[in-house]
């Protein structure tokens, strides 16, 4: 029996947030140790760890052991003690497998047979700007140069030379919204087994671009030709995977731009040529990836116009910059203020505001109270809270599973949550930040967004997976959030000033 060790260790780091991501932040999402706990967590979910299990569990000659799972909401750099705990858990898992091999009289140098890891790729930890690069370097030293290390990444991986140098093969996902975690994980797991069995020989090339790529759906018209080209490349015999990764500019790191990656079966020069060609074609079109968004006032005006002219419900207003999925505070009330002022029949998903949640619970169902909604963080930019009289409609423990293709079946937690109505505006208030990208967030309160004129959602791109099938129209709204979709909105300490488009779009 050959043992493959696995783990998930994920945080998308937004360095423009203060403080650090601690163990208690991971506990709000996923903080699990031991194979049994990890396996139990993923029953019914379609993401990487279940994909690894689905491929390897049925194989008679292999076993896979997920050692731990640490996954937090995007936030500031990971606390040193959490990073060190992840490293130590991985290293002790490796030591244990080696000892077991030795006891059986086998070569401990050949154990574990491989590592199959699910990482994000845009993690910064205290003392580690390229956290996954350092993590991979440490585990590579522990398993030796011949042990295959296969890693799945997010599309927003900050591709670095260190990550590439310390892994055998990297598998970033392909799509944004991220609907292919499971399929991409299946591919990585199958190719790992093929590699262990000597059927393929991965040869990987990357090409980093001096391009801070904006937060852009892969289905956007500007990117569509490249999406189609990448899909075609993935079908070519001898090409094991081809990707363009976006990087995550809010991580503010030295290597954090877009990058191409090509893995061929044994042909490194060909992989490099293909990676270079794709990178150059994308860089050539760099200006086209940047787009305009609407002010809250213009967005609400346009939504009304669309509804009056017969566009069907709902008009979705996406607050793309106050996306907790990019580390923003989820409490910017700029759009909410306009919806309330105009008394637009609408649903608001969702506002992070633990104080207002408590106020709702004190007030009780069907009773009314004065609320100070959102705007607690950085009031100088957001205009502070919205003062409004609201009626409390419902309470919830805030736990739901995504129903659409993005993170399908994965548990999401609002924490203690309440639904209130201010006039025609129904607002979900939550006490844990989580990207409410799926309509399931509204279903939690019995709300049916399909029949509501306007639905506001704090999400940059992932909401499209759930809302595009039902939306009459989607409008992107510009509000002052800490997870901007345009890299020019931030002032960088570490990203090189020469990165496009920091000197302007015509650079």
Number of residues that bind Zn ion (CB under 5 A): 2
Alpha-carbon distance of 427 to 331, in angstroms, equals 12
CA–CA distances in Å: residue 337 to residues 146, 342, 399, 422: 59, 9, 27, 11
Cα–Cα dist 49/69, whole Å: 9
Listed ranges 2-10, 149-157, 222-230, 393-401: which one lies at the site for Zn ion (CB under 5 A): 149-157
Question: DSSP string covering 386-405, please?
Answer: EEEEEEEEEEE--EEE--SS
Q: What mask of x and - would describe binding to Zn ion in positions 97 to 136, judged by CB under 5 A?
A: ----------------------------------------
Shortest Å, Cβ 326 to Zn ion: 9
- Between 132 and 154, CB nearer to Zn ion: 154
Distances (CA, A) of 298 to 57, 112, 351, 475, 476: 53, 58, 21, 10, 11
Instruction: Supply the minimum distance, in Å, between the C-beta of residue 330 and Zn ion.
Output: 17
Alpha-carbon torsion (386, 21, 217, 489), positive or negative: positive
Q: Which stretch binds Zn ion (CB under 5 A): 150-158, 207-215, 344-352, 445-453?
A: 150-158
Q: Tell me whether residue 135 or residue 213 sits nearer to Zn ion (CB atom).
A: 213
438: contact with Zn ion by CB under 5 A: no
Angle between helices 80-103 and 131-143 (to 10 degrees): 20
Distance CA 143, CA 87 (A): 13
Of all residues in the shown chain, the one whose CB is closest to Zn ion is: 156
| Interface with Zn ion (CB under 5 A), residue from 8, 48, 154, 478 | 154
The one segment of 156-164, 198-206, 213-221, 374-382 that binds Zn ion by CB under 5 A: 156-164
> C-beta of 177: minimal distance to Zn ion in Å?
9
Q: Which two tokens stand for residue 500?
A: 């496009």
Residue among 8 and 154 whose Cβ is closer to Zn ion: 154
- Listed ranges 105-113, 123-131, 153-161, 280-288: which one lies at the site for Zn ion (CB under 5 A): 153-161
**Closer residue to Zn ion in complex, CB, 156/187:** 156
Least distance from Zn ion to the Cβ atom of residue 156, Å:
4
A 10 A CB-CB count for 287 gives 12
Min CB(155)–Zn ion separation in Å: 5
Q: Which of 346/459 has CB closer to Zn ion? A: 459
Token pair 């363009």: residue: 244
Considering the complex, state which of residue 46 and residue 156 has its C-beta at the smaller distance from Zn ion: 156
| Closer by beta carbon to Zn ion, 155 or else 471 | 155
**Which C-beta is closer to Zn ion: that of 41 or that of 156?**
156
259-298: which residues touch Zn ion (CB under 5 A)? none
Task: Give the closest residue to 215 by CA, choosing from 482, 433, 454.
Answer: 482
CB-CB contact of 31 with 8 (8 Å): no
Contact (CB, 8 A) for 459 and 322:
no
CB of 60 to Zn ion, least distance (A): 36
Which residue, 3 or 21, is less far from Zn ion as judged by CB?
A: 21
Least distance in angstroms from the C-beta of 244 to Zn ion: 13
Q: Give the Cα separation of 467 and 458 in Å (integer).
A: 12
110-113 long-range CB contacts below 8 Å, 24 or more apart? 111/3, 112/2, 112/3, 112/4, 112/5, 112/143, 112/147, 113/2, 113/3, 113/4, 113/62, 113/147, 113/148, 113/196
Q: Which residues contact 143 (CB under 8 A, 6 or more apart)?
A: 94, 112, 115, 149
Select from 83-91, 123-131, 146-154, 460-468 the region that touches Zn ion (CB under 5 A): 146-154
Give the three-state DSSP class for 107: coil
Of 2, 29, 39, 156, which lies in the binding site for Zn ion, with binding defined by CB under 5 A?
156
Residue ranges that bind Zn ion, judged by CB under 5 A: 154, 156
């Amino acid at each position: 029996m050959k043992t493959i060790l696995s783990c998930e260790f994920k945080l998308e780091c937004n360095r423009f947030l203060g403080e650090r991501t601690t163990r208690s932040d991971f506990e709000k999402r996923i903080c699990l140790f031991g194979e049994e706990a990890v396996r139990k967590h993923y029953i019914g979910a379609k993401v990487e760890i279940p994909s690894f299990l689905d491929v390897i569990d049925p194989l008679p000659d292999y076993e896979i052991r997920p050692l731990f799972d640490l996954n937090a909401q995007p936030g500031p750099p990971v606390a040193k003690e959490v990073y060190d705990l992840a490293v130590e858990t991985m290293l002790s898992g490796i030591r244990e497998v080696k000892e077991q091999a030795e006891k059986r009289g086998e070569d401990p140098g050949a154990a574990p047979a491989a590592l199959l890891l699910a990482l994000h790729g845009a993690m910064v930890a205290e003392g580690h700007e390229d956290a996954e690069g350092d993590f991979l370097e440490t585990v590579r030293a522990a398993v030796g140069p011949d042990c295959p290390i296969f890693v799945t990444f997010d599309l927003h991986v900050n591709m670095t030379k260190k990550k590439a140098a310390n892994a055998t093969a990297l598998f970033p996902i392909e799509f944004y919204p991220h609907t292919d975690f499971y399929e991409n994980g299946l591919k990585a797991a199958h190719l790992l087994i093929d590699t262990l069995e000597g059927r393929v020989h991965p040869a990987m090339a990357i090409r980093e671009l001096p391009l801070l790529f904006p937060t852009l759906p892969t289905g956007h018209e500007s990117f569509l030709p490249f999406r189609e080209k990448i899909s075609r490349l993935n079908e070519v015999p001898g090409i094991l995977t081809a990707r363009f990764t976006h990087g995550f500019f809010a991580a503010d790191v030295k290597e954090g731009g877009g990058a191409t990656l090509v893995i061929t079966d044994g042909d490194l020069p060909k992989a490099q040529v293909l990676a270079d060609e794709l990178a150059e074609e994308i860089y050539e079109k760099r200006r086209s990836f940047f787009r305009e968004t609407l002010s809250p006032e213009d967005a609400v005006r346009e939504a009304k116009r669309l509804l009056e002219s017969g566009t069907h419900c709902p008009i979705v207003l996406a607050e793309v910059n106050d996306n907790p999925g990019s580390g923003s505070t989820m409490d910017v009330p700029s759009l909410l203020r306009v919806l309330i002022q105009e008394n637009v029949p609408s649903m608001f998903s969702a506002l992070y505001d633990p104080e207002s949640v408590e106020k709702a619970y004190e007030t009780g169902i069907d009773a009314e109270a004065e609320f100070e909604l959102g705007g607690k963080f950085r009031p100088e930019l957001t205009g502070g809270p919205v003062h409004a009289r609201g009626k409390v409609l419902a309470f919830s423990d805030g736990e739901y599973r995504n129903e659409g293709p993005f993170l399908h079946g994965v548990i999401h937690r609002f924490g203690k949550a309440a639904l209130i109505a201010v006039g025609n505006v129904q607002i979900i208030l939550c006490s844990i930040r989580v990207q409410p990208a799926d309509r399931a967030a509204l279903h939690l309160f019995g709300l049916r967004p399909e029949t509501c004129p306007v639905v506001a959602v704090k999400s940059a791109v992932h909401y499209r997976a759930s809302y595009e099938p039902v939306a009459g129209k989607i409008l992107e709204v510009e509000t002052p959030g800490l997870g901007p979709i345009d890299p020019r909105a931030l002032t960088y300490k570490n990203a090189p000033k020469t990165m496009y488009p920091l000197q302007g779009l015509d650079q």
